[in-house]
Each structure stands twice: as C-alpha cells, then as structure tokens.
Amino acid sequence: MDMQKPYRFILSGGGTGGHIFPALAIADEIKKQLPNAEILFVGAEGKMEMQKVPEAGYKIFGLPIAGIQRSLTLKNLSFPFKLLNSLRQAKKIVKNFKPDAVIGVGGYASGPTLRAASNLGIPCLLQEQNSYAGLTNKWLKKKVKQICVAYEGMDKYFPASKLNLTGNPIRKNLLDLPDRSKAMKSFDLDESKKTILVLGGSLGARTINESIAQNLDILEKEDCQVLWQTGKLYHNEMLTRFENADKKQLKVLEFIKNMDEAYAAADIIITRAGALSVSELQVVGKPVIFVPSPNVAEDHQTKNAQALTQEDAALMVTDAQAVKELLPKAFELLKDTEKQKQLSENIKKMAKPKATENIVSIIFKMIE
C-alpha cells in the first residue's frame, strides 16, 4: 500500500455506544497509519452517533433509517419506505465519496450503506461485537468480503471463510490508564476512599440505578464512594431522588466522556455486560460485577458475562436479583482483596488489546 495516498473510507453503523465506539477506534487507527486518509461516517438520523462522531472530530451523514422491531408492530409499516429512501441516499453518498473500502459496525445505518457499497463493487468489512449476529450483519454477510468477530463459534452465523477472530476495537486511551490520583481529581473524588464505578452501558440501566436508589441507607453505612453513570433516560429522575443524599459519597453523572479516568478511579466496577464494555474491562483488568441486561436479543449479555464467570474472571448478579443482592455483593468484594486480585488476574488474561490494529490490517489487505 502507498501510505501517502489519500485513501478513502466510510464507516457505518451506530444506535448505541457499543457500535459507535468500535467504529471510532477503527477510524483513529486508520488515521494513525494513513494520516492522509479521508474518513466519512454514515449513521442514522436522531441516533447517538450523530452527536458522538462529530465530538470525536469526524464528519457524519445521517440516513433516515429506523430499525425493524423484532415484535409485530405498526411501526414496521413505515420500515420499507425508510429503507428504500436510505438505500437511495446511501448509494448517492457512496458514489460521491468513492471510498476504497466500507466498514460496517452493526446498527441500522450500516445496512443500506454496505448494501449500496457492495453493489457498486467496493470491498466491505463487517465488525460484529457480540457473541451472536445482529440482524443487519446477518443481512449483509453475503455481500461483504471480511468479517471480524470477538467470540469463537461465529461460523454459526457467518461463512467461516470470511471470519477473523480479532476481538473488539477499544479506544486507545483505555489501553494505558492515567494514574489514580489524577483520575480522582478530575471527578472531584476523595483519594483516600475506596471507589465503586457504576455503569449502565451507553444508555444507562434502570435496574442498576434502582439497585442504588433503593438502598441508599445501606450505602451510607459503608466507608466508600460511588462514581455513577445513570444514563440519559434516567438522569433527571435519579437526581431528584438523590437530593438529600451525601453528595460527597455519590458522584452522579449522566454519561462519562473520560472513561479512561473512570476506570482508573475504580477499585471495583458494577456494569451491564454489553460486548464493548466486556472487551474494555478485559483490557482494564479490574474486579467486575456484571448485571446483564435481560432486554437484549437472545439474552446475549448473559452469555457475554458467563464467558467470564466461567473463567472466574468476574462476578454476576441477575437483573431480577440486583435490587436485593447487588450492593451487598459489591461491599463484600470491596473488602476481599484476595478475591479482587484473583478476578483481576483472570479477566486480564482474556484481553485482546491488538484488536484494532488487526482489524485495520485486514481492511488494508482487502483493498490492496
């Protein structure tokens, strides 16, 4: 490859952080290796990527696509029209931008974009984050040249000849965390206190929020502090419910932009088990308690979490038991440094820190 040539790439997909952040990690790595590359994102109007991608310094175009609901609902009636319209627009974007390759990271927008690109003969690659195949990626599997996955056994869903087991792309700054004291300062936390980081995935998690909100009395008895991401949907409600809580013990945020510092500040982490969170936590290597979301296709978060609990690399509390059991389990872990050490060592063994580089080298080989 001529490293000076201004190659052009489209990255497409989104809907949740679990699709957007891997795309950003891939884009950053392409730019690092090919500083002259031109990169365009294609997302879905009104979705999270329309905000997060420009914040990261990339251009994005929004298609008028919406998802098809897995259940039978009237909302699906408008789906064919939105899809046709999006396919038309995607074709125009691809023809104008003339990418050398197109990368799909799952989520609605990648469907029309990769469809249009592959019809025009442009090489396409899929990155599937989960241990099962998303609807859009299944729809695209015949059209693409390469598929990068993070779990074994994905030949159940995709042609084995196209599969590459690379792991999920992680943002670079998570590979080398800042020091604890700097992280503590940036969240205005007390360096002398044990810290629990509470995450609900990119959108926030009602059950995890309730597990704290309903147990403030037991939290107040513990000598620790909580850095807590509530999620956009629940933030205002949680703030009102915490009006009287100890503001020093609880740092309540809607969304954490500096995840590197959040991970660095944490002694233990409570989190949903979305695929990207899991991949990040393997690299971060801290003790984790998963509360998998029960509201996702094929219960895949439980499978994500079990892949770790089986290796004694994390603890798990089910969504149904979380309000009762989560905080007691967290305090037990916070006091058990031996268990923490064992979990940290085991989770680290599962990390795939080279995922992004490997994916980018597959993209480059594809266009050579």
Ligand X SMILES: CC(=O)N[C@H]1[C@@H](OP(=O)(O)OP(=O)(O)OC[C@H]2O[C@@H](n3ccc(=O)[nH]c3=O)[C@H](O)[C@@H]2O)O[C@H](CO)[C@@H](O)[C@@H]1O
CB of 368 to ligand X, least distance (A): 29
CB of 223 to ligand X, least distance (A): 25
Nearer of residues 86 and 293 to ligand X, judged by Cβ: 293
Closest C-alpha to 224, from 236, 214, 212, 234: 212
Strand order in the sheet with 315-316: 250-253, 224-229, 194-198, 268-271, 288-290, 315-316
Nearest residue relative to ligand X (C-beta): 274
Find out whether 110 is annotated in a ligand binding site: no
Contacting positions for ligand X (CB under 6 A): 16-19, 21, 106, 129-130, 199, 201-203, 229, 255-256, 259, 272, 274-277, 280, 293, 296, 301
CB of 221 to ligand X, least distance (A): 27
Residues in the chain, total: 368
Find out whether 106 is annotated in a ligand binding site: no
Alpha-carbon distance of 256 to 264, in angstroms, equals 13
Closest C-alpha to 163, from 360, 359, 368, 21: 359
Find out whether 16 is annotated in a ligand binding site: yes
CB-CB contact of 108 with 49 (8 Å): no
Find out whether 356 is annotated in a ligand binding site: no
Alpha-carbon distance of 335 to 332, in angstroms, equals 5
Phi, psi dihedrals of residue 85, rounded to the nearest 5° = -60, -45
Nearer of residues 16 and 207 to ligand X, judged by Cβ: 16
For residue 17, the one-letter residue type is: G
Nearer of residues 87 and 300 to ligand X, judged by Cβ: 300
Find out whether 96 is annotated in a ligand binding site: no
Nearer of residues 100 and 128 to ligand X, judged by Cβ: 128
CB of 74 to ligand X, least distance (A): 22
Find out whether 117 is annotated in a ligand binding site: no
Find out whether 318 is annotated in a ligand binding site: no
Concatenate the DSSP letters of all residues of 315-335 into one string. Answer: EE--GGGHHHHHHHHHHHHHH
CB of 354 to ligand X, least distance (A): 18
Q: Which residues are part of a known binding site? A: 16-18, 130, 171, 202, 256, 275-280, 301
Q: Which residues are part of a known binding site for UDP-N-acetyl-alpha-D-glucosamine? A: 16-18, 130, 171, 202, 256, 275-280, 301
